[in-house]
Structure 1
């Protein structure tokens, strides 16, 4: 089983972000630690005897958490569940000097993998994306992370307005030169409810052309594969053995518990969803002993669809089963070079990955 812990707070809200993140002037850190521990204890009571393969601190900005809180949550998880040998414990971090100063304490707390939100290696792009750090500060944080943690990944956002192939290739080649074993490379998407969505509606922000974005996606795959970090998922690239074990648990439709505001879980055939707003989550926890707003049994047919939606994101695809699929559509898309099917696996081709949403809509019967 995997465990996700959501820390919902950020210093500021980025204009492209639709994650469950909030800005608060002050926090009662002791109260938050106790609340997260209580939410964790509730999930443990629903999943006795399980073994944890990974813990992931996401957000928000989990590197703003006091290291003592991180340590308390890891220790509590270890008291409730067995830890698999070599358990992966990841924390998402902003690459600011203030947060980098906590990296050694976070490593001592038990974190052994960090995911840094560099987002760009260009200062102008960072300003456009609303990031608080500049390139030099980000690279200093990356160096600190590489000296402290066993494994390091970082994120970059590409297909920005006006970004051409030559500029992105130069940035990506520089990123590959830093020697991390994992990169998360996301195209900029305009998500509803974000500041970028409002700017796009006004016409003051013009998203990248879809055909140009597709060309950048193919360029990304070629450069990362050539550097020994092939795509193992649509947006994630790793040296063999450096894949995110936690995220693979999602994409392979494994069991995971989620705690903290807005966290989702899939355990014991039940989908759980917690209150998004921090204050509402705290209130529910005080009333009920957990922050869940919804817990629903997942019908077998729905589980098959969810497994398909997640698994086709992976380069390895999913185990082949005709159940719930439109076989004529599968055959047609295979003939078009968008899907590959063997007696054992179904996978999207690199071309198919570009059209995955449409493919899924066609093949689910």
Structure 2
């Protein structure tokens, strides 16, 4: 992805997200909309995803598509023919940008890695691998189906077919030491193509881990230890030339995930499939969609009505949109550009900010502002949820 001009607001882009809700098993830390089913009729599901795409595509103004993202669930359980059909469906409705980014999330098991070449042939350009750890004991704890050996083989195979790969790691695990995490991270940096997503383990409600913690089976590291591991993450990645362009995402300059940047820059995107979210301008009003989460309910709705939206919420209030845009954009190292804010909200950012509190936060080293944008510092991004109420009118 081309680097932005230092003083010019980047194009937020227009993205398309497909959600494949199925997994072989449910990981104990996962609160995503994922479900285990013995069998999935791929042809029926392909038809339904295309039908919902058709329905939504007629409701957005024509624009160039800058990214497609296949998420889940486990998209690498999709047949390559399904992926190809969905990409072709997108091409029927939208003009593809010359440098469009098409990403598919994949698990690094040997079975799923066998489809990498076919995904590339189908049109996928970027692969995001759910490696999660460089240690077998940690993978077992996290409930993953692959071993470190399988992950390494999958990474090698991915690099043979894709010039742009990324993978995820989870840290701040029980018993994890700073020395051990540094070693894992340095190994990951030597293997990843251009991008790493590095997440601290959090215990989400209604997950297997939530029950395990409640029963006292394990404890996550205390806050001060987690902070040490975070600081190691930032320093090791920065020294390697992989700065944090977002709180949990690191990349070589020019290889930031374009699709996720559309979310954070408050661009428009369509979300297709069970539980998917979308934000589009419809009849001049930014509108938030969320699809029905249960796969069978979504499928029945689409086959009956052409779409499976659970909620449709217009966002006409400038105050509501301003808060949402700042909350998303301040996660980024680049911050929120005044030019993009004015275009999305229709009013200047100064109208929504408390000048006195912003000045105090700048003085405290938590915020930065200049003639083009407002940003949270690295320290400020760690406490972003408490900063935003401070600066909003």
Aligned residues of 2:163 and 2:193 also touching (Cα < 8 A):
no
1-structure distance, mates of 2:187, 2:25: 28
Correspondence for 1:42:
55
- The correspondence for 2:200, drawn from 179, 187, 195, is 187
What is the CA–CA distance in structure 2 between the aligned matches of 1:235 and 1:302, rounded to whole Å? 25
SS at match of 2:139: helix
Moved more, 315-324 or 149-158: 315-324
Task: Give the Cα separation in 1 of the matches to 2:186 and 2:244.
Answer: 15
State the secondary structure of the residue aligned to 2:167.
Answer: strand
1:308 aligns with 2:297: no
Count of residue pairs the alignment pairs up: 365
User: Cα deviations across residues 68-105 of structure 1 (Å, max 9, x unaligned)?
Assistant: 01000000100111000021000000000000000000
Task: Check the 8 A contact 2:165/2:192 in 1, yes or no.
Answer: no
Q: String of CA shifts for 1:338-362, please: whole Å, max 9, x gaps.
A: 1112232211111112212222232
CA contact (8 A) 1:214 1:354 kept: no
Whether 2:225 is the aligned partner of 1:212: answer yes
Partner of residue 168, structure 1: 181
Alignment partner of 2:366 out of 324, 335, 338: 338
**Higher mean C-alpha deviation, range 99-108 or range 279-288:** 279-288
Matches within 5 A, 1:1-365: 1-268=14-281, 269-298=286-315, 299-320=317-338, 321-365=349-393
Residue 342 of structure 2 corresponds to: none
SS at match of 1:323: helix
Q: SS in structure 2 opposite 1:243? A: coil
1:135-191 CA distances to partner (integer Å, 9 max, x unpaired)? Answer: 000110011001001210000001111212111101101111115110000110111
Range that drifts further, 132-141 or 323-332: 323-332
1:48–1:81 CA contact under 8 A, matched in 2: no
| Superposition RMSD in Å | 1.1
Secondary structure, in 3 states, of the residue corresponding to 2:221? coil
Preserved CA contact (<8 Å) 2:29 2:142: yes
Any idea what SS the aligned residue of 1:130 has? coil
Task: Report the more deviating stretch, 91-100 or 214-223.
Answer: 214-223
List runs of 5+ in structure 1 lacking aligned partners: none
Contact 2:69 2:259 (8 Å CA) reproduced: yes
Moved more, 103-112 or 282-291: 282-291
SS at match of 2:352: coil
CA distance in 2, matches of 1:233, 1:362: 21
* CA distance in 1 between partners of 2:326 and 2:85 (Å): 36
C-alpha distance in 2 between matches for 1:50 and 1:3: 12
Label 1:282 to 1:358 Cα distance change in 2 as closer, same or farther (>3 A): same
TM-aligned CA deviation for residue 194 of structure 1: 0.8
SS in 2 for 1:273: strand
Q: For 1:177, what is the secondary structure of its paired residue? A: helix
| Unmatched segments (≥5 aa) in structure 2 | 1-13, 339-348
Offset of residue 212 of structure 1: 1.4
Any idea what SS the aligned residue of 1:13 has?
Answer: coil
TM score, norm. by length of structure 2? 0.91
C-alpha deviation, 1:323, in angstroms: 2.5
Give TM-score scaled by structure 1 length.
0.98
The 10-residue stretch of structure 1 (187-196 or 348-357) with the greater mean CA deviation from structure 2: 348-357
Q: Matched residue of 1:183: which SS? A: strand
Offset of 1:204 from its aligned partner?
Answer: 2.0
The answer on whether the counterparts of 2:22 and 2:74 sit within 8 Å (CA) in structure 1 is: yes
